[in-house]
Structure 1
Amino acid sequence: MSRRSWLLSALAVLPLAACTASGPSAEPSPVAAPALKLVAFDSCAQLEKELRAAAEKSYVAPPPLPGNARALNGAEAASTPDSGSHSGTNVHEVGVDEPDIVKTDGRRIVTISGGVLRVVDTAARRQTGKLDLGLQAFGEPTLLLAGDHALVLADGGGISPLRDDTRIIRPGNGRSEVLLVDLTGGTPRLLSRYRGDGRLVDARQHGSVARVVISSSPDFQFPYRGGPQPENVMEDDRGSIERAPMEAWLPSWEITTGGATTRGRLECSAVSRPESYSGLSMLRVLSFDLNATALGDGEPVAVVADGDAVYGSAGSLYIANNQNWRMNAAGTDAGRAAPPDGTDIYRFSLPPVGQPLYVASGKVPGRLLNQYSMSEWDGHLRVATTSWTDDASAVRVLREKDGKLVEVGAVEGLGRGERIYSVRFIGPRGYVVTFRQTDPLYSLDLAVPQKPRVTGELKITGYSAHLQPVGENRLIGVGQEATAQGRPTGMQVSLFDVTDPAAPRRLDQHVVPGGSSEAESDPHAILWWPANGLLVLPVADARADGALALRVTGDRIEQTTRLAATDADAGPMRRAVVVGDVLWSVTDGGVLASNLSTLKQVGWVDLK
């Protein structure tokens, strides 16, 4: 393997190398992994020394190619939207908002697509303004909304290009952006722009305060040589790390407001770490008040760690180093990449105002599906994971003790030989779907944290990639129907009755042969309006690319209609929202207005 090829493959695996007393393990632990202990840095000198040492150990040998590493797709469970006169984003926890491409406050619909923010007046049924945000970050932007302000988030993650004379390792780095936009009068106006090192992981909003999570990696520069590589290439790399300034680890940012730009860099005093870490990634949590007139530096709180999944409750923010697509940099005796030994979880407490506080860390065996694999209830964190070795799944219950998230109970052996496709926790109960050829829907009793147990199981063909509560003891599953051999045949919507924990059952099913839905991988795409049992989700098949409207009545799922854009060039339906008695279906090119009761078209707003 050439040195250049090794470096490119290393970008995907380096963040997992851990500096521990016993060294990395080639096999995951068969029992619960030990909790991570919180350790604070005493000074910048200590921070620099330990980060440099950890980074050097991560370059002991060229890591193997990722091999069979795979990105796990799957759906996320979501909660009931706002119950007022307009719908809200379909989110995990009621009262904790999540970024999405469409938001409404009942007076207006705000959309973002292609770096352009647009505002639609729902009463006048017309577009009142649009703003090209001039984004440099390449990820699909999303937004949050509070009062007359929107907060736009754009991911700058990616791999920096190689220059002719150097090779720059910045795995997952780039410059992410946070923008504050004024919506007064329906004409959007940019107030402030934050641009900082790192990739945008996710964000959560409680009240008017948004907590934004960004992960950055150190900026190391190494000499680049073409052709055969010298034997001492790794020693050269160690030397480059030794010469790297402290600033290589500390992310920087710039804030532009009213034509004036200020710059800053993370201070050592803002950084904490768990007992085990690699020195190659740093998470920072930023706090922005959407009611402010300009952005500040976000009062960053940082931890030396990586993160992929964010889960938020009213008082906590959890960040998990999910590792579901990475492979450990340590190889086995056979030269293969070894799977990670578990998932690290970091908890921040969230005061009503001010900075979050990093308070606890823990570790669980296996990998998470996504943020909905975590749920906080009655002082405990429930976590669902799938093993790296035998694809058996488990639900573990953790409790905070002396700065550690400690396991107090577990139920293991779910769906052996399969993996988790969806998870939903509702109070003292949990539901887990695993799949390989059939779909076992497991019902769990979590009322006693020390003794979680499986109470029932339902086997059906296909799988649910998202579980949506639709009333007491009712769940909607959105996923794929499949043959007995596990081959997907089309999108399916299932209605489950979970009244009896020992015997969950499917009451009804709607299948779109050959169809698929964005909602299978992103639950924000689902609208559930309980007032009239309306379920709307985007769907694409050989017939059309639009939205499917269903009604859930009693024990039945009834198809109402397929909604399609008036303009053939408007693009696929992405989201649906309710404002008063109107259902709005949003595409990149326009918004379709339909009567909420009859679903007859009453208007079309062109967004081009």
Structure 2
Amino acid sequence: MRPRILTPLAPAAVLLLAGCSGSGGDAETTAPPMRLVAYDDCDSLLGGLRTATSQRVGPYGLDGATPYGATLDGGMARSKAMAPNAPDAQAAPAEQDAAASHSGTNTHEPDADEPDLVKTDGRRIVALAGRRLQVVDAASRKVTGTLDLPDRTRLGPGGGGNAQLLLSGDRALVLSPENPVMTRGPDDGAMPVPAAPRTRLTLVDLAGTPKVAGTMSTRSTYVDARQTGSVARVVVQSAPQIRFPVPPGGRAPGRAAVERNRETVRDAPLDAWLPTFQVSGPSGTAKTYTVPCEQVSRPASYTGTTMLTVLTLDLARGLGDPAPVSVAADGRTVYGTGSSLYITGTPPVPPRPDRPPEVRPVAAERTDVHKFEIRGPGRPRYAASGSVAGSLLNQYSMSEYGGNLRIATTTTPVSAGVRRDLERPAATAAPSPPHSESAVRVLAQHGARLDLAGEIGGLGRGERIYAVRFLGPAAYVVTFRQVDPLYVVDLKNPARPRVSGELKISGYSAYLHPMADGRLLGVGQDAGPSGRVRGTQVSLFDVSAAPRRVGAFKLPGSSAQAEFDPHAFLYWPRTGLTVVPVTRGATGASEALVLKVDGGGVRRLGSVEHPGNDYAGSIRRSLLVGGTLWTFSDAGARATDAASLGQGAWLPFTAG
């Protein structure tokens, strides 16, 4: 059966994904009318995937697939933020009463929890360190349980990887990317295939002695996850597993090799594209799930090779059918609320008909946005898609407000001269430097489309975005090259955004945190007149009227983890206690810088350190439970009195 072409407003019982083809112009990123391709059966799906993939092959195989082992922009190392979460909504009332007042993971939205290295419900603390899951009783300040995780699980920077966890009641979900780099040799006349990345999910029962309650593995790259209540949505991305023949003599004979590879694609089975999910229970019984063909679709104009899949897992019920939904699209950044999930990616540029397929085209900057509705525990429902010019920094570049999506991007146009230079030998190329600028756009949903409703551009010409924070009907955008312009964008009228204020200071903020009474806290770097950074800078801004800086603290020769991962940042609004883990100079010495932030400014209260000067002793997280400040590294946890900063108990973690 042939695929059905539907208009954006046509009803459909299956997931429909819209897409936009790239433009060859410098700044043309206008989306063409969307055509949505849905499949009635597996034969039509296989035909569509073969056709799209064959357009991306070159003489050595696929062109444009996500490299195995690569870190996606939306992966664990991306910046995240903001408001502390409330105690677990799934906990019983009596358990909530027994739990001490505590901080939670800094998340972008308070109703969408994010994976991190440490979680707490106010009674117990669960941490990942030393290839083990460590359970700490907050009241007795003792490690009450440990659990060895699978051999290939890599825990955080100290363990060489990026495993993180989610917590709901007595269940923890450990999300473990596995990105091998070894390849298989050509033992049968085929090109080597990179060892496929895998994502392993381990459900842990924390009642009593920690034990594995189930596992799930898939031959896909982990992108990100969000959790509301006990339900987690996990986003993974996969590339087709196709082995291409070796060109004769090890050299590519141009078009003949391309056509040979296209034949290989046309013969590939459906399971070369569709990801599978192997689920094992505590008894070791295993079951394999795959994506139903009617739950896969692609944009009519899409000519890429990667596939995004959203999994739904209820931690309270255990691991079972993940109800996968797949779309043939790229995904790098995830932003979620309690009811919506947005996935953005940079699509590949379709091959140009006027040049051989082995010549790679120059990509135009564009970000595609796909929205899913995630109300309730069931399978996500595709809602709409759109496209904007430029690239976004991280998930804080997006915000859902009043039914619209606000998004901030930076565009670096490529001139026709640069494109010609890129096609000539490097020795003769003399491209002029690109000129970047940033913009804030508002996208409104109309049926299955996210259409442009308003925009304001021209922010930070020649610079790029370093931080974004949307607060109510306003956006705060930091760009940087030599000085830090903090732009205030008024979004009260979504159709006519306007810049209502601007402040220039030395250095920049890479993380913005909302405060009370019209204040905004920025964590970043101080810089000299030439733009050379000099050390950590924490700035307090008053943005209630014309923006101005009302306080600052500087620590020369250091960098703050919150610049790169705001999960490392802690702010306790009741007292103004602020904790920023920093690393000093070339020695790599680490400490948790403790500050007091209030209406009068920013001042240093002290610091917390862990034993040892190696990487294992680097403090990566902090949280508050009652009156105790907890800090965490791979080496262990320290409990410190939050009022006096008197050094308390040191709990060493045993290595796995």
- TM value normalised by structure 2: 0.83
Query: Secondary structure of the residue that 2:48 maps to in structure 1?
Result: helix
Query: Secondary structure of the residue that 1:588 maps to in structure 2?
Result: coil
Where does residue 38 of structure 2 map in the other structure?
40
Contact 1:322 1:368 in 2 (8 A): no
Query: Would you say 1:491 and 2:536 are equivalent positions?
Result: yes
Query: Secondary structure of the residue that 1:53 maps to in structure 2?
Result: helix
Where does residue 200 of structure 2 map in the other structure?
177
What is the rounded CA distance, in whole Å, between the counterparts of 1:65 and 1:350 in structure 2?
28
Residue type of the alignment partner of 1:583 = L
1:280 to 305, 308, 312: 305
Query: Secondary structure of the residue that 1:532 maps to in structure 2?
Result: coil
Query: Would you say 1:339 and 2:363 are equivalent positions?
Result: yes
Change in CA separation of 1:333 and 1:572 when aligned onto 2, cut-off 3 Å: same
2:124 to 108, 123, 148: 108
Query: Would you say 1:55 and 2:53 are equivalent positions?
Result: yes
Contact 2:130 2:635 in 1 (8 A): no
Where does residue 3 of structure 1 map in the other structure?
none
| Deviation sequence 1:16-52 (CA, Å, 0-9, x none) | xxx999x753344446434744432222122111111
What is the rounded CA distance, in whole Å, between the counterparts of 1:76 and 1:147 in structure 2?
24
- TM value normalised by structure 1: 0.90
Where does residue 386 of structure 2 map in the other structure?
362
The 5-angstrom pairing of residues 238-317 of structure 1 reads 238-257=262-281, 258-292=283-317, 294-317=318-341
- More displaced stretch, 52-61 vs 332-341: 332-341
1:164 to 155, 173, 186: 186
Query: Secondary structure of the residue that 1:54 maps to in structure 2?
Result: helix
Residue type of the alignment partner of 1:578 = L
Deviation at 1:244, TM superposition (A): 0.9
What is the rounded CA distance, in whole Å, between the counterparts of 2:556 and 2:349 in structure 1?
36
Query: Would you say 1:208 and 2:230 are equivalent positions?
Result: yes
Query: Would you say 1:443 and 2:488 are equivalent positions?
Result: yes
Deviation at 1:155, TM superposition (A): 1.6
Residue type of the alignment partner of 2:83 = S
Deviation at 1:438, TM superposition (A): 1.1
- More displaced stretch, 38-47 vs 281-290: 38-47
Residue type of the alignment partner of 1:33 = A
Change in CA separation of 1:128 and 1:65 when aligned onto 2, cut-off 3 Å: closer
Query: Would you say 1:194 and 2:198 are equivalent positions?
Result: no
Q: Gapped runs of 5+ residues in structure 1? A: 1-18
Change in CA separation of 1:207 and 1:273 when aligned onto 2, cut-off 3 Å: same
Change in CA separation of 1:64 and 1:592 when aligned onto 2, cut-off 3 Å: closer
Change in CA separation of 1:278 and 1:428 when aligned onto 2, cut-off 3 Å: same
Contact 1:156 1:198 in 2 (8 A): no
What is the rounded CA distance, in whole Å, between the counterparts of 1:95 and 1:149 in structure 2?
19
The 5-angstrom pairing of residues 113-128 of structure 1 reads 113-128=129-144
Deviation at 1:71, TM superposition (A): 9.2
Query: Would you say 1:593 and 2:593 are equivalent positions?
Result: no
2:559 to 491, 508, 516: 516
Change in CA separation of 1:24 and 1:400 when aligned onto 2, cut-off 3 Å: closer
Query: Would you say 1:221 and 2:237 are equivalent positions?
Result: no
Query: Would you say 1:90 and 2:133 are equivalent positions?
Result: no
Contact 1:492 1:509 in 2 (8 A): yes
Q: Matched residue pairs, number?
A: 581
RMSD over aligned CA atoms reads 2.8
Change in CA separation of 1:77 and 1:443 when aligned onto 2, cut-off 3 Å: farther
1:537 to 580, 585, 591: 580
Change in CA separation of 1:574 and 1:99 when aligned onto 2, cut-off 3 Å: same
What is the rounded CA distance, in whole Å, between the counterparts of 2:71 and 2:147 in structure 1?
38
Contact 1:566 1:592 in 2 (8 A): no
Deviation at 1:508, TM superposition (A): 1.4
| Deviation sequence 1:529-549 (CA, Å, 0-9, x none) | 111101101101147311101
- More displaced stretch, 120-129 vs 30-39: 30-39
Deviation at 1:263, TM superposition (A): 1.7
Query: Would you say 1:319 and 2:343 are equivalent positions?
Result: yes
Query: Would you say 1:79 and 2:67 are equivalent positions?
Result: no
Query: Secondary structure of the residue that 1:259 maps to in structure 2?
Result: coil
What is the rounded CA distance, in whole Å, between the counterparts of 1:74 and 1:484 in structure 2?
28
Query: Secondary structure of the residue that 2:323 maps to in structure 1?
Result: coil
- More displaced stretch, 530-539 vs 269-278: 269-278
Contact 1:37 1:404 in 2 (8 A): no
Query: Secondary structure of the residue that 2:371 maps to in structure 1?
Result: strand
Query: Secondary structure of the residue that 1:117 maps to in structure 2?
Result: strand
Identity of aligned residues (%): 45
What is the rounded CA distance, in whole Å, between the counterparts of 1:115 and 1:393 in structure 2?
41
| Deviation sequence 1:102-156 (CA, Å, 0-9, x none) | 1111111111134311101111111111111114355411000000000110123
The 5-angstrom pairing of residues 351-390 of structure 1 reads 351-389=375-413, 390=435
| Deviation sequence 1:129-184 (CA, Å, 0-9, x none) | 1111114355411000000000110123465614233335569x421111110011
Where does residue 470 of structure 2 map in the other structure?
425
1:526 to 558, 564, 569: 569
- More displaced stretch, 271-280 vs 145-154: 271-280
Where does residue 13 of structure 1 map in the other structure?
none
Residue type of the alignment partner of 1:405 = L
Change in CA separation of 1:289 and 1:527 when aligned onto 2, cut-off 3 Å: same
What is the rounded CA distance, in whole Å, between the counterparts of 1:277 and 1:380 in structure 2?
25
Residue type of the alignment partner of 1:41 = Y
What is the rounded CA distance, in whole Å, between the counterparts of 1:311 and 1:429 in structure 2?
18
Contact 2:131 2:153 in 1 (8 A): no
- More displaced stretch, 412-421 vs 42-51: 42-51
Residue type of the alignment partner of 1:596 = A
Contact 1:274 1:361 in 2 (8 A): no
2:515 to 470, 486, 492: 470
Change in CA separation of 1:376 and 1:586 when aligned onto 2, cut-off 3 Å: same
Contact 2:443 2:454 in 1 (8 A): yes
